[in-house]
Every structure is written in structure tokens, then in C-alpha cells.
Amino acid sequence: MDKGPQHPTRPAEPTATSARPVIDLVAEKAEILRRYRGLLRSIKGQRTAEESRQIRKAFNIAVEAHKDQRRKSGEPYIYHPIAVARICAEEIGLGATSVVAALLHDTVEDTDLTLDDVKDLFGPTVATIIDGLTKISGMQFSTDSIQAENFRKVLLTLAQDVRVILVKLADRLHNMRTLESMARDKQLKIASETIYLYAPMAHRLGLYSIKSELEDLSLKFKEPTVYEEISQKLKKGEAVRKRFISRFTLPIRESLDREGFSYEIKGRPKSVHSIYNKMLKKHVTFEEVYDVFAIRIIITSRPELEKADCWKVYSIVTDFYQPSPDRLRDWISLPKANGYESLHTTVMSPGGRWVEVQIRSQRMDEIAEMGLAAHYRYKDGEEPSSALDNWLNRIREMLEDPNSNAIDFVNDFKLDLFSDEIVVFTPKGEMRNLPAGATALDFAFDIHTQVGRQCIGAKVNHKLVPLSQPLRSGDQIEIITSRKQQPKEDWLNLVATAKARHRIKQALRDQKQKLAVVGRESVQRQLRTWGAKVDDNNIKTLVEHLNTASPTDLFYQVARGKHVLADLKAPHVKNGRLVLPKTKPQPDERSLEEVVAEIRGHDHGGLSLGDDLQRIEYKLSPCCNPIAGDDVFGFITMNEGIKIHRVNCPNAVQLMSNFAYRIVKARWKGKDTVEFLAGIRFSGIDDVGLVNKITTIISHEHNVNMRAISFESHDGIFEGKVMAYVHDTDHLNSLMDKLKRVRGVRIVERVDQ
């Protein structure tokens, strides 16, 4: 029975004959106790004697349960639950119950301890959390994606206790920190899953430091060269940054001291991942990313004075440095839905550099670091903040629909995770939070499902606008409805929120089922006209003949008039049995597992490209145009054989997260005479004869065949793009290096197409 993906860092049990290093058990026991004492010191707040007893009991049980297990690195397995419990206490700020659950989180799945044992020993709350964290064997859904189902199972437990997600994030963070010892393909799969779902989830819960670390570690394993390059550049510039921050903050410190503020100023670099994202989005080099660090001013202030004091500090900062008017973000007056409060501004320093300054109180800083967990410590009787509650209620609503497909659910759910927010108003002045990019139709569904379904138009700030109109913060929206209106398929392209997409799909399914009832009657009537029996076998014959996906689809298409049964050539009927030729193409006789086995061969699951091309049907994916030398993987498609993608392809994260079981390791073998299409974009300062120099380098010096070349020049700046055939990445890099040396050329980068 499927248990979902196994724990990412668990080794197979060693065989009796395998050579094992000599282990100093006494030193290991002392190290386990040292780590346990470190865990106890990290738990915030006062603990009752009963809570301390429960933690000690959980620790003893976990040590005994995992005593024969080791991690891939060779360490005792118990190091992992202790580390997860410490992250829960120290970095998320959770209390004793979560620490107990974290210590025991792998016992039910991997040892002889049962959920009933946990319930008897620690009570129903801990059992519920561990139940949520355990991959439940009996809980199986029909789905294309095992991974998506596991995400969905994790989210189902939100209906019971949000601590499940927080412990899960701690578990994932420790696994990412210790991912070095895993095989490359496992690293890619786990890193993709992390960036696809867990980092956005940490973001939504306001756990910014955990979100940043998860993103950085994902980048480290997905693109080690890029990660290393940016890290080294950040390290190299550290001394210069410190001097700059010291000079920049000096007048601010003096002024704050005069005003009598109690404060702390931190200058911290942005995460490697966020710098990399900026480089990609803005097509700039590391040196051109102006805000590689932010300055944070944290003040000690009484709750009733926080807002006024933050604005006072803003006034002091802007007395010395000119602010950028379009870079002011006021999350103090209108906090984000995840509880984040802060005042952000970007100011111009004397050296001509833009600097981001964040101003907040100590309370705001704690919420920013520890997310909504900082609002309450998860002790019995305490309620979570309303922002968290509202978000969880939206998830529960979506989970209640038994017909929703797991992958659709995960993709829709993701829409709500990473988006920035806007604040809009109803005609009566009621405030609503929506993700940035939300449309008038999203707003209609946010008000009520029925309002969304019957929406025919909207007025924004008293002007009639189309349903697809994106909303802006401060807009006031009035929805116009009609009882005759029905949701349409293209509405899915007009919305940006998970709730609206989910409700539209639900409405379309309802419509389909109603039409299918009408279609079923037509099919039954036609079968009687032909003199055939009205039974499942005859309906199956029609499904196969008309190449529809299922009987429901057949009935729906008949009702819509796509298939007119009366127009079919009078079929042969024998003993009430309908005889019609099958038009559906025959599927491959081999199972998916057999195809994978053939592809993987005996080379540790690897697919070699560039040698014996006839053996396997594979294509280079047009979304990222991989070339020999690129780090690649194979993806088994249903109809087009294997598609080869680059590991840093824009679609790689989604494919690896949702369809890991259809991913095949792939590598280039030897230098081949095959040529691959690659794109290069370059820009710089326009100069006489520049185009000629560039085309000469491409066509003559490197014997490259160009497929397309284009140049544009605007006010002394030129931009060009060439699509050319190269042999491999070395060939491409050599060509790009030559182009960088041309006088006037500033940026040369590879593009996908």
C-alpha cells in the first residue's frame, strides 16, 4: 500500500555483511543528551512540571524507538527529531505540545509505536498532530500525482490543528539543511517540492526567515554554481557593506538618541534567492542589483504609541535622505493578512545608492520573524489570530469538495500563497483583502459564491468595467448580477484567486452533471430506437467508438450536440448487443513501469543522451531548449515519449514536485555531432560597425549556423538577439565570452527561445 514519498533522509537498513565504521556509542550517547539539553534551553516561556515531564517522556520513547536507525550521513536517527523540535521551539516559537509532537513525529510511521499508544501516553492533541504528519496508508485518492496528494493530505489536517503545518515546515527545514548526503536526483526532487509548496507556505504564515532559508537551500541544490557565485560576492562585499551601513546610520542614530528613542539598527543582506530572482527579472548582473541589503530600525514602544513612533522615525530618516515616493509601503496602517506589520521606504544615500529602510516596533519584529505563531503560544484555550483563522477557513472550504483534483487543488492553493495583497472596499465601505492581480470577478466570488456565479458586470469607483478588470488598492467595487447568468469556461482565465477558480470549476462541474442527465436520456432513447439493450456494455461501446473519456463525457457531449447519435450509420445489433468499430487509438501494451524500466536500464536509473539515439524516443523540450553539457532530466509524457528539460527550466519545479515518479535521471554522454538551438541576448552602447563585429564573430570565428538574428537601437542603446546552432554548453560559453569582449557590449546572456 502506498505510503507516499518516504522520509527524504532515511537510509535503508544496512545488511549484515555491509562494512560499517566503528561507532563510539558512549560519545554518541553524550552527544544525544547534549542536544536534548540544548532543546530544553530553547523552549520559550515558562513550563509547568507536567509539560517538562511530557517532553522528557517523549524524548525517552523517541530514543528507544529510533535506536537502530541511522541517517544517510551515518548519524544516529534521533538527531533529526531533536533538531526538528528545536526549530519548532527556537525559530517558530511553539510550546511544549509541539515539541512533544516533533520528537515523536516519525515514530508512528517508522517504528513499532502506534497512534493509539501515542494517544494513551500523551493525549488526543499530540496524537492528532502526529496523525496529520504521518502519511496515512489507507487514505488513497485517484490522482495523477502522488506528491500532490501528499500535499493535500497535509493540508487536510489543517481542519484539526495548524501546528501540523508548522511542525512539517520545521521537519522540511532540517531535511533541507542536511540534504548534502542525498543522491543528486533526490536532492532535485526535494528542493523542487520545497520551493514549490513549503517556502510559499512559510511565507503565508509569516515565517520570513524560514521562508528565505528554504528558498536559499533549494537554490543551493538546484543551481549550485549560481548559489556559490552570489554567496561569494556577498561575502566579498561584507566589509564594504558594514562601513557603508555605519556611515549611513550615524546621523540617524544621533537624531534618535536626541529624541530619546530606545532602538536597535540592523543591516542585513537580502537572501541569495531574492537577489537571484531580481537578476533574472530585471536582466541585470549582481553588481547592478542596488538593494542587496536592507537597514532595519527596531524601536521599543508602548502598544498605543507604536504607529506614531514609527512615523516619527520615518520623518527622521527622510530628514537626512531623499525618499523615493513610489517605494513607500505602509503595512502599519493596513497589516498583511499574515499579520506582518512594518513601514518600508527606499531612500537615496550620499553615494548615489538606493537603500531600503524598514521601521518597526519590537512586537512587529517578533511577528515578522516568527509569523502568526508569535500571536499565540498554542496553549489550551487560546485562539489563533483572525487573519490566520480566515485563511484556514478558506482552505477548509476548498478541501470539503470531494470532486476536486489534487493537482488542481495544489496549483489553486499556491495562487493564494505568494501573492502580495491589495485592500479594496464594498459599496458600504467594508474592507476586503485580496491578492495583487485580483479582478472584479475575484471580488464577486469573495463576497459570496452566488454573487460570483450570477455576476454580469462590475462598477469600480462608480465606472462600469469588464469582469477581467484588475483591481488596485483603495478601489470601491459594486457587483451587478442577473439570475440568468451562468459561469463559463473562459472565466477561469479572468480570475487570480484560488477561491474563485475553485468555485467556477465547481459550477462548471454542476452544469456538466445537469446536462449529462439530459444526454443520458437521449443516449438511452437512441439505443432503444436501434433495438439495442440499454446497459453499461452498449454505453461502453459508444464511448470507445466516439473516443470520449467516460460515459459522463459522452452524455455531456451528446447534450451539447457535439455527437448526434441519429447521424451514425445504422449500427449492427446482435442479441441486443451493439457492434461498432473502435476508433480510439490503442494504448501502449507496456505499463508505465515497464517503459521506465527500459529507459532506466541498469545504469542506476540514468538515461544517456547523445549515443544510440534510436534506442529511446526522446525530444528536447522547446520551453528551455537544452543543449549538450546542460544539467538535464527526462520527463515521461503520455504521448510524446520522453521530453528532455534543463534542471533550471521554468517548468522544472512544477514537474518535479507534482510528477516525481515520471522523472528520469538524464545526462549527456560524449561529444556528439548533433547541433542544438540556443538563444543569446546582448545589449550595450551603440557604436559604428558593432552589428558587423557581432555577426562576424558568430558566423566566422565559431563556425556557427545562425537561424535568426535581430537588432534594435534606441537613443544610443542597442539590444540584439540571435538564435544559433551550437554543439554543447562549452561551445555556447566560448561564443558568449567572445561577444562580451566586443567594445560597447555590456550584457550577454543565454535565453531559452
User: What does the block give as the cell for 622?
Assistant: 522547446
Together in a domain, 658 and 737: no
Under 8 Å between Cβ of 667 and 608: yes
Say which range, 90-99, 218-227, 579-588, 714-723, has the weakest mean pLDDT: 579-588
* Whether the predicted pLDDT of 599 surpasses 60: no
Domain annotation covers residue 387? no
Domain annotation covers residue 477? yes
- Output the pLDDT for position 441: 92
Under 8 Å between Cβ of 75 and 181: no
Whole-angstrom CA distances from 514 to 59, 374, 524, 526, 553 are 56, 48, 16, 19, 12
- Output the pLDDT for position 442: 92
Range of the domain at 723: 676-751
DSSP string, 278-333: HHHHHT--GGG-S-SEEEEEEE---GGGHHHHHHHHHHHHHHHSEEPGGG-EETTT
Residues in the chain: 753
Whole-angstrom CA distances from 171 to 8, 167, 626, 703 are 10, 6, 34, 52
Domain annotation covers residue 14? no
User: What does the block give as the cell for 21?
Assistant: 565504521
Together in a domain, 218 and 238: no
Together in a domain, 549 and 460: no
pTM above 0.85, yes or no: no
Instruction: Note the pLDDT tens digit of each residue in 541-565.
Output: 888 777 787 788 888 878 777 777 7
- Output the pLDDT for position 582: 61
* Whether the predicted pLDDT of 377 surpasses 50: no
**What CATH number should be reported for the domain holding residue 704?**
3.30.70.260
Of the candidates 447, 490, 449, 433, the residue with the CA atom closest to the CA atom of residue 466:
490
Beta bridge partners of 717: 685, 714
Give the span between the Cα atoms of 81 and 59, in whole angstroms.
Answer: 9
Give the span between the Cα atoms of 641 and 615, in whole angstroms.
Answer: 12
Together in a domain, 67 and 186: yes
Instruction: Note the pLDDT tens digit of each residue in 478-498.
Output: 998 888 888 888 888 888 887
Of 531, 558, 579, the residue that ends a domain is: 579
Position 217 confidence tier, pLDDT thresholds 50, 70, 90: very high
Under 8 Å between Cβ of 659 and 147: yes
- Output the pLDDT for position 365: 87
Q: What positions carry a catalytic annotation?
A: 109-110
| Residue written as grid cell 452533471 | 513
Together in a domain, 70 and 205: yes
Together in a domain, 57 and 190: yes
- Output the pLDDT for position 143: 41
**What CATH number should be reported for the domain holding residue 447?**
3.10.20.30
Together in a domain, 150 and 260: no
Together in a domain, 246 and 327: yes
Average per-residue pLDDT in the chain? Answer: 78
Indicate the DSSP class of residue 750: E
Domain annotation covers residue 409? no
Phi/psi for 520 (5° steps) reads: -60, -45
Domain annotation covers residue 50? yes
- Output the pLDDT for position 386: 55
Domain annotation covers residue 412? no
Together in a domain, 103 and 189: yes
Give the span between the Cα atoms of 516 and 321, in whole angstroms.
Answer: 67
Together in a domain, 195 and 242: no
* Winning range, highest mean pLDDT, from 124-133, 233-242, 714-723: 233-242
Domain annotation covers residue 266? yes
Together in a domain, 185 and 119: yes
**What CATH number should be reported for the domain holding residue 329?**
3.30.460.10
- Output the pLDDT for position 148: 58
More confident residue, 220 or 21: 220
* Whether the predicted pLDDT of 309 surpasses 90: yes
**What CATH number should be reported for the domain holding residue 178?**
1.10.3210.10
Give the span between the Cα atoms of 453 and 489, in whole angstroms.
Answer: 12
The 10 Å CB-count burial string (b at 16+, else e) for 454-463 is bbebbebeee
**For 601, how many CA atoms within 13 A lie in the half-sphere containing its CB?**
8
Together in a domain, 109 and 161: yes
Whole-angstrom CA distances from 537 to 516, 520, 527 are 18, 14, 12
Whole-angstrom CA distances from 491 to 317, 455, 508 are 47, 11, 10
Instruction: Note the pLDDT tens digit of each residue in 11-47.
Output: 444 444 444 556 777 888 888 899 989 888 888 777 7
Give the span between the Cα atoms of 266 and 253, in whole angstroms.
Answer: 12
Burial label for 673, CB within 10 Å (0-12, 13-18, 19+), is exposed
Under 8 Å between Cβ of 217 and 350: no
* Whether the predicted pLDDT of 584 surpasses 50: no
DSSP string, 670-687: S--S--EEEEEEEEEE--
Strand order in the sheet with 745-751: 705-714, 717-726, 676-685, 745-751
Neighbours of 537 (CB within 10 A): 11
User: What does the block give as the cell for 290?
Assistant: 542596488
Position 595 confidence tier, pLDDT thresholds 50, 70, 90: very low
* Whether the predicted pLDDT of 216 surpasses 50: yes
Of 523, 556, 579, the residue that ends a domain is: 579
Of 579, 603, 624, the residue that ends a domain is: 579
Say which range, 377-381, 520-524, 703-707, 748-752, has the weakest mean pLDDT: 377-381
At a CB cut-off of 8 Å and minimum separation 6, what does 697 contact?
A: 735, 738, 739, 742
Burial label for 6, CB within 10 Å (0-12, 13-18, 19+), is exposed
* Whether the predicted pLDDT of 587 surpasses 50: no
More confident residue, 14 or 54: 54
Position 427 confidence tier, pLDDT thresholds 50, 70, 90: confident
Domain annotation covers residue 17? no
* Whether the predicted pLDDT of 361 surpasses 80: yes
Of the candidates 138, 151, 43, 35, the residue with the CA atom closest to the CA atom of residue 96:
43
Give the span between the Cα atoms of 311 and 319, in whole angstroms.
Answer: 12
Instruction: Please tell me the total count of domains within the chain.
Output: 6
Give the span between the Cα atoms of 189 and 198, in whole angstroms.
Answer: 13
At a CB cut-off of 8 Å and minimum separation 6, what does 666 contact?
A: 606, 607, 608, 609, 632, 633, 634, 644
At a CB cut-off of 8 Å and minimum separation 6, what does 315 contact?
A: none
